[in-house]
Amino acid sequence: MIRRPFKARYILLIAALIFGSHVMTSGSEEGKFGTPKGDEGTRIFKATEQLFYSGEFRLKGDRAFLIGSMNDTTPWDHLDYAGKHLNAVKGTIDIEVNERTNTGRVVAEFIEGSHQYRIVFDRFAPRAPYQDGGIAARIYEHGDSNNGDSLYPKTWLYLGGWGTATMYKNDQVLYKDYDAHFMVMERSRDPKTHEVHYPVKRTLPGGETDPAGMEIDLWVRSKEQNANNFPPFETFVHLCWEEVIWR
């Protein structure tokens, strides 16, 4: 057995550690799991960039508010940033869609007074590239996001849909093939005052929503315009659900 001097053994040990570190680093750079690649560890990925993304969403909304009333006469405000004209109604929304195939069904039901209303939203189609095929996930919309209009603050959409819907009143068609849009989004209304803090002078680059909460919004609107209303449509039905349940 050859016994090397302590100094020689020490040098060999250091060399082995350096060589092993180089091998591990080289292997990591070749794509072993858990190793960041440039800035990919922190950037926001599209849903379709997720390895096991199914595209299937099943959600339910509860604690519903109707912004304004179904009986409002012009002029009305159905965005109501001040939160002064929200009517609590008994009703839910059920969302079962596939974002990959842009198919599925959104059904909202609520009661106002003695009347029952139902919205069936099952025809999805894009009007802008960011809307993908009519259903899109993990995107910013509204405000200064450059996606959609600026009627609402910039918000992160966990899920959104665009297309046409039919609305029923007591099982009779009330509005057929009206433009529709739903958003599963960050909370936009103050949980105590129901105020939407928008527009405000921003001091931070994010939006005016609260990422600590969620809500579901649904709009059904006519193509006919009316500049006396806000938003400027002849018809604009707007509902919000403060409780979001993922299933």
Q: What is the pLDDT of residues 133-179, one digit of tens each?
A: 999 999 999 999 999 999 999 999 999 999 999 999 999 999 999 99
Q: Which two tokens stand for residue 187?
A: 């909370």
**What's the mean per-residue pLDDT of the chain?**
89
Q: How confident is the model at residue 36 (pLDDT cuts 50, 70, 90)?
A: low
Q: What average pLDDT score do residues 178-186 get?
A: 98
Look at residue 22 in the predicted model and tell me its pLDDT.
46
Q: Are 99 and 130 in contact (CB under 8 A)?
A: no
For residue 34, which of 24, 23, 44 has the smallest C-alpha distance? 24
CA 27 to chain centre: 38
Is the pLDDT at 38 greater than 80, yes or no? no
Q: How many helices (H) and strands (E) does the chain have?
A: 1, 10
